[in-house]
Structure 1
Amino acid sequence: MKNTLRSLVLVPVLASVPMAALATSAELTITGTITPAVCTPSFSGGGTINHGPIAPADLSATQFTLLNAETVQLTITCDAPGAFAVSIRDERPDAIPAGIETFLNAPAGAVLGLGGSTDKPTGAYTVSFAEGGQQGDSGAITPISRATSSGAWTALSGNQIIVNQASDMQYSWASTGTTPGAYNRVDATLNIATALNRTGDLPSLSNELELQGRATLTLFHL
């Protein structure tokens, strides 16, 4: 009986081996991505400022000529409240008249070129935050800046409101203090001041001379 019992016990154990080899499985995968708010910047008028025809007779041979002041609206919209910063890069940095920064009351690095050549630059312009023209979710906000991407934020004063294109310079907005706020929408009025070079330092004006200022604004999520 003992032998018979042992053989009966072994049979189901041995029979289970091929059944285990035939087992199949299905994998359950859990995925997802935690992302910051997606924010998109845009300029009014498609980001184009047109000074129209300018008569050579309206330009000075001995000093820079200041054109009419212009404004442009920067709007940043987010799909959820988010904190962000912006920077600006001049795409015409190699053609800026010497001394025009002083004429535009701008700190070093804060003027952007209008095209031309290094020896015959057309002129320059500045972009600055309009005082009282900054709104975050319909409330008043204040522009702030930092010199590097990891630096401390500071309030802007005097001609610091002029956007500086120095490397790593970033700008943001705060409702109070100097900590960037989180907003669904920011509406920022920017002032544009443009000055043209002296006629003696411009290419021949017997042909049309186009103003070719171009700058790129980049948005960073914080």
Structure 2
Amino acid sequence: MKHVPSRLLALFYLLSVGSSVLAAYSTELNVTGLITPSACSPTLSANGIVDHGRVPARNLNQYEYSTLPAQALDLTVSCNEPVLFVLVGMDNRADSSLGPGFYYGLGTNIHAPTERLGTVSLAFREVMGDGERVLVLASSNQGLTWFPESNAYPNNYMGFAHPGTLVPEPHRLLTATLQVNTAINAAAYLTLKQEVPLDGSIVLDLRYL
């Protein structure tokens, strides 16, 4: 006979007691999940890390954003069959964004938490779907309407289709260059007497349609 953990035995005991006890002491358990007809796996090169290294404070613009060199990551979405999916940029630093709806946040100054460090923007470049060039589409209303747009603004649905098509199409293999642009806030608005880490954090969420 297999060993039954004591906690499970306790649960069995609770289920066997009288109905009057259950009426007085009860709780609810919900089991959730999602059965999908197929599976896709998104991956980013360099483990999804964009490292700008050390940025000397003296090189920053005093009253304008300082744009750092653009960096690029290779994005691949591989599915076991053609699947209709979108990618959605989710900002883990949304409270620090200097342009909500257009830019992702770069985090706040650890030495002065009210100071927002800057912005991050994402754009899809050279996108290929199943070996053919595809058009990048965006939706700001969760897929009700679509328009051509290669910039991946926060919370927008990003879909992919053949040129001339304004509705996302299924793909088995999608490859793209994800361009990452970072800008630091004007130095006049930052306390830079100590080292300040940049702290952008973005999730590319793959969702099935």
Alpha-carbon RMSD across the aligned residues, in angstroms, is: 1.7
Q: Which residue of 2 aligns with 1:143?
A: 136
Q: Which residue of 2 aligns with 1:11?
A: none
Please identify, of 212-221 and 115-124, the stretch whose mean Cα deviation from structure 2 is larger.
115-124
**Per residue, is there more strand in 1 or in 2?**
2
Residues 114 and 213 of structure 1 are in contact (CA less than 8 Å); yes or no, is this contact kept in structure 2? yes
Q: Tell me the distance in 2 between the aligned counterparts of 1:143 and 1:150.
A: 13
Task: Tell which structure's C-alpha radius of gyration is larger.
Answer: 1
Residues 103 and 121 of structure 2 are in contact (CA less than 8 Å); yes or no, is this contact kept in structure 1? yes
* CA distances 1:109-155 after superposition (whole Å, capped 9, x unpaired): 1101111156311111100122xx00011110111122223402222
Q: Which residue of 2 aligns with 1:57?
A: 58
Q: Tell me the distance in 2 between the aligned counterparts of 1:189 and 1:183.
A: 17
Q: Which residue of 1 aligns with 2:201?
A: 214
**Shift, 1:174, TM fit:** 0.2
Q: TM-score by structure 1 length?
A: 0.72
Structure 1: which 5+ runs fail to align?
A: 1-33, 102-107
Q: TM-score by structure 2 length?
A: 0.76
**Shift, 1:57, TM fit:** 1.2
Q: Which residue of 1 aligns with 2:103?
A: 111
Q: Which residue of 2 aligns with 1:127?
A: 122
Paired residue total: 171
Q: Which amino acid aligns with 1:72?
A: L
Q: Tell me the distance in 2 between the aligned counterparts of 1:184 and 1:221.
A: 13
Q: Secondary structure at the match of 1:94?
A: helix
Residues 36 and 221 of structure 1 are in contact (CA less than 8 Å); yes or no, is this contact kept in structure 2? no
* CA distances 1:4-46 after superposition (whole Å, capped 9, x unpaired): xxxxxxxxxxxxxxxxxxxxxxxxxxxxxx8422011111110
Residues 96 and 113 of structure 1 are in contact (CA less than 8 Å); yes or no, is this contact kept in structure 2? yes
Q: Tell me the distance in 2 between the aligned counterparts of 1:150 and 1:198.
A: 36
* CA distances 1:29-81 after superposition (whole Å, capped 9, x unpaired): xxxxx842201111111000000111111112121111101111221000111
The percentage of aligned residue pairs carrying the same residue is 26
Q: 1:208 to 1:142 in 2, by over 3 A?
A: same
Q: Tell me the distance in 1 between the aligned counterparts of 2:199 and 2:122.
A: 15
Q: Tell me the distance in 2 between the aligned counterparts of 1:150 and 1:192.
A: 24
